[in-house]
Structure 1
Amino acid sequence: MSGKYAYGVVVYCGMNTRIYRNSAESGTGRNKISKLMQTYNQHVIVLFTLQAMICIIAAFTHGWIYATTTTTTDNSKADDDDTTTTYYWYLYVGPQSVDAGDVLSRGLRVAGSLLLQFTYFVPISLLVTLEIVKYFQGRFVSADVRMQHNGLRAASNSSTLIEELGSVTHVFSDKTGTLTDNLMIFTSAYVMGSGAADSPLLGRYQTNGIPPNPERHVSGQFDARVFERIVLEDRDPHNTPLLFLLGLCLCHSVLIKDSIEASDDPLKRLGSESLYDASSPDELALVAGARHLGFEFTARPTPDTIRINLTTPFARKVIQGEYEKGDTSIDVELLEVIEFDNDRKRMSVLVKIISPLAEEDGRQCSTTTTRILLLIKGADSNAASPEEELESVLDVLSAGGLRTLVYGVRDLTSDMPFLESWRRSYNDARGLVGDAKERALKQCIEEMEYDIDIVGCTGIEDKLQDYVPDTIADLHEAGIKVWVLTGDKIETAINIAYSSRLLDSTVLNEVITATTPPSIHKTLDTLSHRITALSSSIAGRPSAGHHHHHQHGDRSSLATLEWDDLAEVKLAKRGLLSLSSIDMDVGQAVLPLSGHGRGEEAEKEPTTSLTDVGDEQLESEEEGVCIDMNKPTISSPSSSWTSVAITISGDSLAVVLKDRPLRKKFFKFALSHCITVIACRVSPKQKAQIVRWSGSYLPANTMLAIGDGANDVGMIVSADVGVGINGKEGAQAARSADYAIPQFHFLRRLLFLHGRESIRKNSTFIYYTVFKNVAFSLPAFLLGFVSQFSGTSLYDPILKQGYNVIFTLLPILLYGIFDRQLLTNITSSCPYLYLWPGISLKRLCRMECTSRELIRLKFSPFNLFGNKHLLLWLLAAAWVSVCSTVPSMVYLYNASIDSNGNSSPPLAGVGSLIFLHIIILCNFVVYMLSNIRYWFTHIGIIGGSIAYLLAWIILTEVSSSSAEGGLTTSSMIFSPSTGAVLLSGLG
């Protein structure tokens, strides 16, 4: 470097970096908190309040006892012969003076002493131990071999939300790559002017002699010969068909793989997947379709050039007007590329073509011709206003479940002044920053993508993944509502909905395409009246809303706040969920339940999973208990509608989201009445808004979003729990999600097995931890009835430190990690068990009723945590404390002499015995809670008591204070009185 200085400019830094702006828009999703932990946070406040009240009551009682008990000293006698007389409150001895300051001082001293002894009342260690349990539960998800596909396994990116998988009420799903394979197959192509009846999709020219097609991205039913015949019959095959084919092979961002481009091996050029590197499967299928028709994209000699190889006589005929032998290549110059974005939903390229184009009579021109064309492709709703001819073709393609794209062109050859002026403006706009750049670019793009002539359309098939219909049916049986948010046309989305069993003949599907608030209001009112009429015709059946009302128990009860007020408060807090619930009118749509267990993936993967370990023990422990997974629970008449769904377009949804009264009305209706909602032509931003508003209107319910692409990230991080699919559109969704699975049907096992077991065990883990800590703390308060609430310490301070980390840790830790209520194949295959994670298999069989009858019994499926549970566990803790403390005080603390002449043990010995008693009882509770008991479960339960006895003996025998009272620890442990105390407490 010859100069002394170097100047540099730092641009797009700080808050303007792309990574920051993207994260600020969608978030990371890592600050989520489960409903169970939200409830526990409320319980912590209750426990702190209860702890303070106990300390205050004890301090007040001690002060009152001291104030009402007067002690006088008689000094009339000699100094060494003082006489002390105590007067109690029930003996009137005349007026006495009490020092108020002394009473207050004693009361504060007792309150502080009890506060220190009650440090275990609020289980702070719970957060650490629960994280250990959740970590292993997440590892079980990742190690489940029943959830792997093509070498990909499930992944747990956030184990803190694993119990949320057990309380899901709504699933918001993308379609492409989530419900479908995302293996796009070029199925149909249509050129304007050829007539809708001549579409290859309708099979007019199809013959049985279709040649085999080695290209996996082109349908075997697509016959290029039919397409060529249709095009060559056109009056002007060198204009519209040529422009359509040019758009097909030029309007894309596909790259050639370097290893293939440098190779001459023709075998490597057979498949588009091995030849091209595309950002999306759609573009790969479109380029493969153009290649199948003779317009092969072969190279990019320069960044601004595309080379097209004309490989068939048809291609050379269309572009040159004559048949030639051998391949002919043409180079096309790329002037500008306007990338696809979610607002425009289209992509454009400005190209310059220099080639010997044909004249109108089909003969080759003697001189070259230069044409400047804007080639555009996009959704039919955004690319342009389709003509009636094209509309009929698009309807046919969409009805067949195909993804449609419309191609258009604008010829700028004769408008060079506009082109030069536009390019200058476009370059200037790209040099701006911030909002000014976005506005300028938008204006330039709108000026260019104007006056477009439609030249044709394509149809691409995207098949459903394996077991998707069965999985969705099981989700419905489990009381989970499934919403599909897709960018496809309404007809395509409805076709996929019927194929995936989101819709059937028993579902009334209302399609909303209106773009004005009054029209949408009227549609919702009409649908509401139809539901009312429908409910009267099927009286006696519980509705879908009724089902969900019982399904969520108190979590879907009335709220005092208005719907939209609560929702906006929640959104304003950016993730802080409101503790209020929303009440919706009981819906009138019946949720069909079948109870059919499905386990195709289990049959497909016979390998024993890590999560299946212990099934043999469960089989032996549940011997004689069986359940019929194929038992039908309801038979819905196919002649009438029994449930309701809504299909809404993106334009209508935009109106709904902007209008507050309409938004409130729509979400209230959809969330309470509809078994499914299908949103079509929605943008990624709208997907996130739908999930966010749904969660805001129902803050007590759990919203799950699942997708596979970068456009699903906003939806995934906005949901209570996000699931990403390791698809073909990159790993951004899987990395941003809380959990990742290879295919959609694994969602059933993720929810029904891992989610159900996690919420059952984690809720028990939390309340048991509260139980054992309260049971350990209360004896210090009960001692006050003997010690006049003097704040005397009951436990050895050293042994006390091992209560939560040694003596009672292992049993509940092993329970949270390894316990399983039912066999894995039963849990993952019985949808209605997801509704009642706390009910046992024996109880289900004894009841001998269907899931529909269980609904009528008004069970609370997710009633595993709440204030009621806290109260019950606190009462159980108080009972354990009484059973541990009272016998010890009655049998041992009173003055007595045993058979060997030893006096009663000191207070420390009584406290240690109470300590042992509580350990035995609490560990025994874990044993009773366990559904499966391994050999190490027994070791953990018994080992806690043995460890305490060893620690007690060692500490007291080596301590000088062990001789106090004349009764050693060893003799105390083996004395008949101690055995009587333990037996009486256990009894």
Structure 2
Amino acid sequence: TDKPAHARTSNLNEELGQVDTILSDKTGTLTCNSMEFIKCSVGGTAYGRGITEVERALARRKESTLPQKLGADYARLSGEKTFVKGFNFKDERIMDGNWVNEPRANVIQKFLQLLAICHTALPEIDEETGNISYEAESPDEAAFVIAAREFGFEFYERTQTSISLREFDPTSAKKVERSYQLLDVLEFNSTRKRMSVIVRDAKGKLLLLCKGADRLVNLNIMSAHAYNSDLFSLLPRHFISCPFSLEMKSAAIKAFKTSVAQQITDAKALLTSSSETPETLALIIDGKSLTYALEDDVKDLFLELAIGCASVICCRSSPKQKAQVTQMVKVKTGSTTLAVGDGANDVGMIQEADIGIGISGVEGMQAVMSSDIAIAQFRYLERLLLVHGHWCYRRISSMICYFFYKNIVFGFTLFFFEMYASFSGQAVYNDWFLSLYNVFFTSLPVIALGVFDQDVSSRYCLKFSLLYQEGVQNVLFSWVRIFGWVFNGLLSSVIIFFFCVGAMDHQAFRNSGEVVGLEILGATMYTCVVWVVNCQMALSISYFTYIQHLFIWGSIVLWYLFLMAYGAINPTISTTAFQVFIEACAPAPSFWMLTLLALGTSLLPYFVFASIQMRFFPMYHQMIQWIKADGQSNDPEYCQVVRQRSLRHTTVGYTARFEASKHFEEFSEIKSH
């Protein structure tokens, strides 16, 4: 659909940048849920010369071309008839009534009757044109009814007790109207995995017509069909190769045929035969096998096998199994899981995952109402995670670390003064200074950091998808990084306190010759703190906007304005701040020199550390910033070097399996000795 994205919760923003495993539905999620009848097999004979999206994607991946004759015949047949939505079948052998000339025409007739009868669709007749359209529960059902109509078996009326068709009669070569008495309808469900109708024809013969999974409808398979769904045009480039480019595990959980799963896996490049990654595997398991795999005694073994694969596809799975797989992955691995689906059968999976993404498709709004974030199409998930997920993770991580820093700088200057004053209990700062520090003078830059900061642009986030690993590996909010900011705050507070105390001791600041008192020391130290924490913010920001400039420098200016205004109030209210700036601090050159000296010295350690890290130990986003600054973003060789230098492998997917096999070989060698 074209509905805008909607965040239904606001407390999962940082987790969008830390997703390790994606569990996705197929129909309506990876596809656009628009089915086309394209091929069928009746009585052992295959009909249909169309080219499916799987065949096209497989040919593109293998860098081969489709047979010229097939392409020419398909183009010729495509031009002979107008396009019908839901029907993309091209084969003159059974089109336009030619099926009567086929060796097994009676079987073909039964197949077409089944398509026209075995369904729950409702016909809608346009009063102006007389054309019939169909309202069906699922797109594939609509495609079957449309296909039957195009083959000459038009379903035009439905009541509580009958179904009426206009059938092509092989004897008279004309269409005749026939009505079938509808005795019962056994609708499709995830347990039966089939749909059946019981009807009585005009001759009084009872018929049980059934369609469903090939493994269950095994008494007498009349025919098989192939419908095409637009799958790959909706899948973004990065997510087709996500198990390798992101080291992010993907799992598609959907009830569809195992052979189809194998074709889709091959065409999507989830399973590759490249000699460069011979250890890459994909796991395909059906619902029946999954039932045994989820039992308590083998659940851990199944999970270990699944983790060792780059991609996992569960076919013919029930909604309960989807939820069980999601819960198992979330609980056992401890990683951040994301589930995405569009139907009511995906609700359990969406609710079990750490992050639930609902797609507003044609299967209702149940998935959207149960989700954390609603999007219109699966392809929007790429930008949601790689761009906004990474930005949110970085912003929140940096914001928390900066909160630690600015409060440690402020708090430890108070602590050091208490030590200096022999723990007398006298605060060096005015009461209003203490109250407004986190309200006005340092809060606005933090808000700007959490809203606007970008380490790299959205274009580079999408181009260098490995940048997402920083969130998966949690490198921006590790204990090392947190303690680094804590140490930086301690160092800044030490520099500010001892510079102020050492430089102002026994100095005369007023015209009367009075030496520095508690009020002047407190105002000077507070000024240094405000300058240092705001300028530290300026050094930490990667992406400046006018708002950030306004908040950072405006907070510093606001401190001076407050100090002058508050100091002008009656001393019974302003207490130690009365005229301290106008009479003592502002006229003294040493006040301004001390502020600049404390500022430069406090920021120097961070500046040196950042320079050394950028030069010798750059993080991945810093390397991308380098590429952008050097103007080499379009040089593939240079970009590849950056990728290799910055890649830190995680123990997911084929990397885990490779490491496990290496450890097993080492263990075998030790045991042999």
In the superposition, the TM-score normalised over structure 2's length comes to: 0.79
Distance 1:745-1:967 versus aligned 2 partners, 3 A rule: closer
Q: Distance in 1 between matches of 2:577 and 2:522?
A: 14
- SS of corresponding position for 1:768: helix
Equivalent residue letter for 1:178: T
2:130 matches 1:247: no
- Superposed, 1:441-520 pairs within 5 Å as 453-466=220-233, 468=235, 470-475=237-242, 476-506=244-274
CA drift at 1:725 = 2.8
Give the one of 153, 156, 170 matched to 2:7: 156
Deviations 1:237-285 (A, max 9, x none): 2xx545433321122121234xxx251414x44xxxxx12222111110
CA contact (8 A) 2:430 2:576 kept: no
Question: Which of the residues 368, 384, 391 maps onto 1:757?
Answer: 391
Structure 2 residues not aligned, in runs of 5+:
51-68, 602-673
Contact 1:172/1:705 (8 A) holds in 2: yes
Cα deviation per residue 1:572-599 (whole Å; 9 max; x = unaligned)?
xxxxxxxxxxxxxxxxxxxxxxxxxxxx
Query: How far does residue 176 in structure 1 lie from its aligned partner after superposition?
Result: 2.0
Deviation sequence 1:455-480 (CA, Å, 0-9, x none): 33322122323163733344221211
Moved more, 484-493 or 882-891: 882-891
> Structure 1 pair 331/801, CA: closer, same or farther in 2 (3 Å)?
farther
- In the alignment, the residues of structure 2 paired with residue 183 and residue 232 of structure 1 have an alpha-carbon distance, to the nearest angstrom, of 32
Quote the offset at 1:226 in angstroms: 5.6
Letter in 1 for 2:310: I
Structure 2 SS opposite 1:341: coil
The correspondence for 1:333, drawn from 181, 197, 211, is 181
Cα distance between partner residues in 2 of 1:151 and 1:918: 50
1:678 aligns with 2:291: no
In 2, Cα distance between the equivalents of 1:967 and 1:215? 85
Q: Is 1:256 the counterpart of 2:123 in the alignment?
A: yes
Pair 1:978 & 2:591 matched: yes
The answer as to whether partners of 2:271 and 2:281 remain within 8 angstroms in 1 is no
Hey, what's the Cα distance between the residues in 2 that align with 1:336 and 1:467? 39
1:874 to 1:155, Cα distance in 2 relative to 1, 3 A: same
Q: Distance in 2 between the 1:152 and 1:235 partners?
A: 48
Correspondence for 2:475 among 863, 867, 885: 863
Distance 2:255 2:578 in 1: 84
Partner of 2:669: none
1:306 aligns with 2:159: no
Distance 1:785-1:379 versus aligned 2 partners, 3 A rule: same
Q: 2:47 aligns with which of 200, 221, 237?
A: 200
Say how many residue pairs are matched.
Answer: 575
Distance 1:966 1:459 in 2: 86
Which residue in the other structure is 1:571 paired with?
Answer: none
1:934 alignment partner in structure 2: 545
Residue 800 of structure 1 and its aligned partner are, at CA, apart by: 2.7
Alignment check: 8 A CA contact 2:17 2:386 kept? yes
What is the one-letter code of the residue matched to 1:339?
Answer: E
Q: How does 1:386-405 map to 2 (within 5 A)?
A: none
Separation in 1, partners of 2:516, 2:510: 14
Structure 1 position 185 matched with structure 2 position 36:
yes
Amino acid of the structure 2 residue aligned with 1:316: D
Mapping 1:659-674, distance limit 5 Å: 660-671=296-307, 673-674=308-309
Conserved 8 A contact 2:246-2:466: yes
Q: Deviations over 1:522-552 (max 9, x none)?
A: xxxxxxxxxxxxxxxxxxxxxxxxxxxxxxx
Q: CA distance change for structure 1 residues 654 and 882 in 2, over 3 Å: closer, same or farther?
A: same
Q: CA deviation at 1:922?
A: 0.8
Aligned to 1:372: 206
Partner Cα separation in structure 1 for residue 86 and residue 248 of structure 2: 35
1:386-428 alpha-carbon deviations (Å, 9 max, x no partner)? 5xxxxxxxxxxxxxxxxxxxxxxxxxxxxxxxxxxxxxxxxxx
Partners of 2:524 and 2:288 lie apart in 1 by 73
Q: Separation in 1 of the partners of 2:407 and 2:577? A: 30
Greater displacement, 914-923 / 794-803 = 794-803
What does residue range 378-457 of structure 1 map to in structure 2 within 5 Å? 378-382=212-216, 384-385=217-218, 453-457=220-224
Q: CA deviation at 1:915?
A: 2.3
- How many angstroms does 1:973 deviate by? 2.4
- Show the counterpart of 1:732: 366
What is the match of residue 652 of structure 1? 289
Report what 1:296 is aligned to: 154
1:661 alignment partner, SS class = coil
Residue 193 (structure 2) aligns with: 345
Match of 1:679, SS state, is strand
| Change over 3 Å in CA distance of 1:691–1:223 after alignment to 2 | farther
Cα deviation for residue 697 of structure 1 reads 1.4
Distance 1:277 1:385 in 2: 29
Correspondence for 1:123: none
CA apart distance, 1:165: 2.0
- Which shifted more, 247-256 or 338-347? 247-256
**1:851-873, Cα deviation, whole Å (9 max, x unpaired):** xxxxxxxxx95311132222222
Change (3 A) 1:227 1:925: same
Task: Give the RMSD, CA atoms, in angstroms.
Answer: 2.9
- Indicate the residue corresponding to 1:792 in structure 2: 426
CA contact (8 A) 2:14 2:389 kept: yes
2:485 pairs with one of 837, 862, 873? 873
Q: 1:290 to 1:976 in 2, by over 3 A?
A: same
Is 1:214 equivalent to 2:83 in the alignment?
yes
Match of 1:923 among 514, 527, 534: 534
Equivalent position amino acid for 1:502 in 2: L
**1:290 is matched by which residue type in structure 2?**
A
TM-score, normalisation: structure 1: 0.55
Change in CA separation of 1:235 and 1:664 when aligned onto 2, cut-off 3 Å = closer
With over 3 angstroms needed to count, the CA separation of the structure-2 counterparts of 1:309 and 1:201, relative to structure 1, is closer
Deviation at 1:224, TM superposition (A): 6.5
Indicate the SS of the match to 2:283.
Answer: strand
With over 3 angstroms needed to count, the CA separation of the structure-2 counterparts of 1:474 and 1:952, relative to structure 1, is farther
Per-residue deviation, residues 479-534 of structure 1 (Å, max 9, x unmatched): 1122222211111111111221112223xxxxxxxxxxxxxxxxxxxxxxxxxxxx
Letter in 2 for 1:217: G
1:681-760 to 2 correspondences below 5 Å: 681-699=316-334, 701-760=335-394
Could you tell me whether the CA contact under 8 Å between 1:692 and 1:719 is conserved in 2? Answer: yes
What SS is found at the alignment partner of 1:505? Answer: coil
1:904-923 map, 5 Å: 904-923=515-534
Q: Distance in 2 between matches of 1:304 and 1:905?
A: 100
Letter matched to residue 532 of structure 2: L
Contact 1:352 1:370 (C-alpha < 8 Å) held by counterparts? yes
Paired residues of 2:49 and 2:89 also in contact (CA < 8 A)? no
Give the superposition deviation at 1:923. Answer: 0.7
- 3-state SS of 1:252 partner: coil
* In structure 1, C-alpha distance between the alignment counterparts of 2:570 and 2:92, rounded to whole Å: 94
Gaps of 5+ in 1: 1-149, 270-274, 356-368, 387-452, 507-635, 838-859
Distance 1:199 1:780 in 2: 84
Letter in 2 for 1:455: M
Identity %: 30
Q: CA deviation at 1:733?
A: 2.5
Summarize deviations over 1:765-787 as a string: whole Å, max 9, x none.
Answer: 11111221222222222122122
CA distance in structure 2 between the partners assigned to 1:233 and 1:778 by the alignment = 91
**Residues of 2 paired with 1:802 and 1:963: CA distance?**
16
Match of 1:827 in 2: 461
Which amino acid in the other structure matches residue 697 of structure 1?
K
Query: What is the aligned partner in structure 1 of residue 94 from structure 2?
Result: 225
Q: Secondary structure at the match of 1:468?
A: coil
State the AA in 2 paired with 1:277. E
C-alpha distance in 1 between matches for 2:362 and 2:47: 29
Deviation at 1:924, TM superposition (A): 0.7
Matches of 1:479 and 1:248, distance apart in 2: 44
Match of 1:284 in 2: 142
Greater C-alpha Rg: 1
- Cα distance in structure 1, aligned partners of 2:341 and 2:580: 67
Q: Please list the CA deviations of residues 416-444 of structure 1 after superposition, one character each: whole Å capped at 9, or x if unmatched.
A: xxxxxxxxxxxxxxxxxxxxxxxxxxxxx
Pairs within 5 Å for 1:27-42: none
